[in-house]
Amino acid sequence: MNLFNTLTKKIEPFQPIKDKEVGLYTCGPTVYWFAHIGNFRTYIFEDILKRALRYDGYKVKHVMNITDVGHLTSDSDTGEDKLEKGAAREHKTVWEVAEYYTSAFINDMHVLNIVEPDVWVRATDTISKQIELIKILEQKGFTYIIDDGVYFDTQKLGDKYGRLWTDLEKKELRGRIEENKQKKNSADFALWKFSPKDQKRQMEWDSPWGIGFPGWHTECVVMGGENLGLPFDIHCGGIDHVSIHHTNEIAQAEAAYDKIPANYWLHGEFLTLKDAKMSKSADNITTISQLKQKNINPLAYRYLCLNTHYRSKMVYSEESLDFAQKSLDKLYKKMGELRNESEEIKNDSVKFAEYQKSFIEKINDDLDMPGVLALVWEIIKDEQLQNQEKYDLLIDYDKVMGLKLSEVSYRVGGKDTEYVIETKDENGMSVWTDDLKILPKELLEKLEQRKQLRENKNWEESDKIRQEIKEMGWIIEDSEGQVVIHQSK
**Whole-number Å distance between alpha carbons of 421 and 483:** 8
397-422: average pLDDT: 78
- So what's the pLDDT on residue 233? 98
**Whole-number Å distance between alpha carbons of 22 and 192:** 32
Beta pairing, strands 189-194 & 149-152: antiparallel
229-249: average pLDDT: 96
Burial track 456-487 (b if 16+ CB lie within 10 A, e otherwise): eeeeeebeebbeebeeeebebeeeeebbbbbe
How far from chain centre, in Å, is Cα 143?
Answer: 35
Rg (CA), the chain: 27
Q: Where are the beta strands (DSSP E) in 383-454?
A: 419-424, 430-433
Taking only the tens place, the pLDDT of each residue in 419-447 is 888 777 776 666 777 788 888 899 999 99
- So what's the pLDDT on residue 172? 65
The model's confidence at residue 86, banded by pLDDT at 50, 70 and 90, is confident
**Whole-number Å distance between alpha carbons of 75 and 87:** 20
Q: Look at residues 462, 465, 444, 445 and name the one whose alpha carbon lies nearest to residue 453.
A: 462
Decide which of 148 and 418 is more confident: 148
Burial track 155-186 (b if 16+ CB lie within 10 A, e otherwise): ebbeeebbbbbeeeeeeebbeebeebeebebe
- So what's the pLDDT on residue 429? 66
Q: Is 344 helix (H, G, I), strand (E, B) or coil?
A: coil
Amino acid identity for residue 352 in this structure: F
CATH of domain 2-268: 3.40.50.620
Taking only the tens place, the pLDDT of each residue in 176-200 is 555 678 999 989 999 999 998 887 8
- So what's the pLDDT on residue 45? 98
Predicted model pTM: 0.87
- So what's the pLDDT on residue 281? 66
- So what's the pLDDT on residue 110? 96
39, 104, 202, 367 from 87: Cα distances, Å: 21, 16, 9, 39
162, 164, 251 from 168: Cα distances, Å: 11, 11, 19
Beta pairing, strands 59-66 & 10-13: unpaired
**Residue 91: exposed, middle, or buried by beta-carbon count in 10 A (0-12, 13-18, 19+)?**
exposed
Which has the minimum average pLDDT: 75-89, 99-113, 239-253? 75-89
- So what's the pLDDT on residue 38? 94
**Whole-number Å distance between alpha carbons of 347 and 392:** 8
**Whole-number Å distance between alpha carbons of 357 and 52:** 14
Taking only the tens place, the pLDDT of each residue in 461-489 is 999 999 999 999 898 888 767 788 887 76
Which has the minimum average pLDDT: 5-9, 66-70, 108-112, 336-340? 336-340
Q: Look at residues 92, 108, 176, 190 and name the one whose alpha carbon lies nearest to residue 147.
A: 190
Rounded percentage of the chain residues whose pLDDT exceeds 70: 91
CATH of domain 312-407: 1.20.120.1910
- Asked whether 82 and 72 are in contact (CB, 8 A), the reply is yes
The pLDDT mean for the chain works out to 90
226-246: average pLDDT: 96
Q: Would the pLDDT of 453 be above 60?
A: yes
224-248: average pLDDT: 96
CB atoms under 10 Å from CB of 389, counted, come to: 22
266-282: average pLDDT: 81
Domain with CATH 3.40.50.620 in the chain: 2-268
**Whole-number Å distance between alpha carbons of 177 and 167:** 17
**301 Rama sector, left if φ>0, alpha if ψ -120 to 50, beta otherwise:** alpha
- So what's the pLDDT on residue 200? 82
99, 131, 151, 196 from 201: Cα distances, Å: 18, 18, 20, 8
Helix, strand, coil percentages, rounded to 5, for the chain: 45, 20, 35
**Whole-number Å distance between alpha carbons of 136 and 390:** 58
- So what's the pLDDT on residue 373? 98
Taking only the tens place, the pLDDT of each residue in 54-85 is 999 999 999 999 999 877 766 666 677 888 88
238, 280, 308, 370 from 312: Cα distances, Å: 12, 22, 7, 11
- So what's the pLDDT on residue 178? 56
Domain with CATH 1.20.120.1910 in the chain: 312-407
DSSP state for residue 177 in the 8-state scheme: S
Q: Would the pLDDT of 250 be above 80?
A: yes
Q: Look at residues 420, 384, 419, 398 and name the one whose alpha carbon lies nearest to residue 331.
A: 398
- So what's the pLDDT on residue 360? 98
- So what's the pLDDT on residue 173? 59
One-character DSSP codes across 356-382: HHHHHHHHTBT--HHHHHHHHHHHHH-
Q: Look at residues 163, 212, 205 and name the one whose alpha carbon lies nearest to residue 191.
A: 212
- So what's the pLDDT on residue 208? 97
Evaluated on CA atoms 416, 421, 426, 430, the torsion sign reads: positive
